[in-house]
Amino acid sequence: MEPTITPVDASFGAAVTDIDLANLDEAGWAFVEAAFIDYAMLVFPGQDLTSEAQTAFGRRFGAIEALVPGMDIPSVPLSNRKADGSVLAPDEHLFQTLRGNEGWHTDSSYMPLASKVALLSAQVVPPEGGETEWADMRAAWDALDTDQQDEIAGLSACHSLYHSQAEAGYVIETGAGYGYHDKGAPLRPLVKTHPVTGRKSLFIGRHAYSIPGMSEDASRKLLSGLLDVACQPPRIHTHRWQPGDIVVWDNRCLLHRARPYDVSQPRVMRATRIAGDPATELATTGPDKRASGFVPSAANS
Ligand code: OGA
Ligand code: MN
């Protein structure tokens, strides 16, 4: 069986059918690996993978990033329901994490080692909303004029979950655990060169703030202006999930976000995050601020 690949209507992305990811032979993997580099995002409808099969497919792309540190849970259920079936309340950490995912971001850019690839599959989907969207930051870079490219070429930004969750309306206390930096914030160039394709892309999103050498206000204006322009057609694609679908995307050159939905409706996804390569996804350490303008002192750190 030869897989069939159908590009989606955007500057990136394709759907792949006639393929069985649970029983992928070497020829099948070679096909996926090449298509992934060409399209940056692949949708595989109706695969219905078990958690183990999703993890095994994820491992083809690299080492799994442990989303629950210290625990061997490679593929994590992302559900707005608790184990007893009740709906998460707005003051719960996971509720706030799920709402936070509704802002454009790239995964784990707030960690010293950012993620390079992510996989998401749908188990239960709400009747309306709850789509996932991606945006092509290679095409966004290409769309800037040379003056704009020159203006940002040498700049870096801090990345932090304290910052992005505060912007989403959730103030997180110091020492909140996974993803919340305890020394300097990771500092990452605004322009990233893809380690495989060599293509440049904008490396921005909701976790990015505070550009060294610029005021907080100017940083905010620059970053939000870039994000607004970047995440526009034909550089975006929206996937309306069916249970059993799995999508894999390249965090090194795409942003993504969840779309809102009625949170009284269940939405159950399963996420697998692949760690970046230290040679290309490791951040340097930036200033010790948890959000724009926030500098810890002896009294409040
Ligand atoms: C994620 C994420 C988006 C969604 O799992 O990292 O951003 O649609 N998910 O649930
Ligand atoms: Mn994400």
The better pLDDT of the pair 172, 229 is held by: 229
pLDDT tens digits, one per residue of 75-110: 888 999 988 988 899 899 899 999 999 999 999 999
Closest ligand 1 atom, CA of 105? 7
Structural domains of the chain in order of their starting residue, each with its CATH number: 4-286 (3.60.130.10)
Q: What pLDDT, on a 0 to 100 scale, did the predictor assign at position 301?
A: 44
Q: What pLDDT, on a 0 to 100 scale, did the predictor assign at position 235?
A: 98
pLDDT tens digits, one per residue of 106-141: 999 999 999 999 999 999 999 999 999 999 999 999
Ligand 1: which residue has its CA nearest to atom 7? Answer: 101
46 pLDDT band, cuts 50/70/90, is: very high
Ligand 1 contact, 255 CB (< 6 A) = no
CA 271/CA 119 separation, integer angstroms = 6
Ligand 1 contact, 117 CB (< 6 A) = no
Residue 246 CA to ligand 2 center (angstroms) comes to: 14
> What does the mean pLDDT of the chain come to?
93
Q: What pLDDT, on a 0 to 100 scale, did the predictor assign at position 290?
A: 84
Residue 117's nearest CA partner among 66, 52, 62 is: 62
Q: What pLDDT, on a 0 to 100 scale, did the predictor assign at position 70?
A: 62
Residue 165 CA to ligand 2 center (angstroms) comes to: 13
Q: What pLDDT, on a 0 to 100 scale, did the predictor assign at position 299?
A: 46
Ligand 1 contact, 256 CB (< 6 A) = yes
Percent of the chain with pLDDT over 90: 81
Closest ligand 1 atom, CA of 101? 7
Ligand 1 contact, 120 CB (< 6 A) = yes
Judged by DSSP in three states, 57 sits in helix
Element containing residue 259 per DSSP (H, E): none
> DSSP E strands: which ranges in the chain?
4-7, 14-17, 41-44, 75-79, 115-124, 132-136, 156-159, 186-189, 191-193, 200-202, 208-209, 236-239, 246-250, 254-258, 268-275, 284-285
Residue 101 CA to ligand 1 center (angstroms) comes to: 6
Residue 248 CA to ligand 2 center (angstroms) comes to: 12
Q: Check pLDDT > 80 for residue 73.
A: no
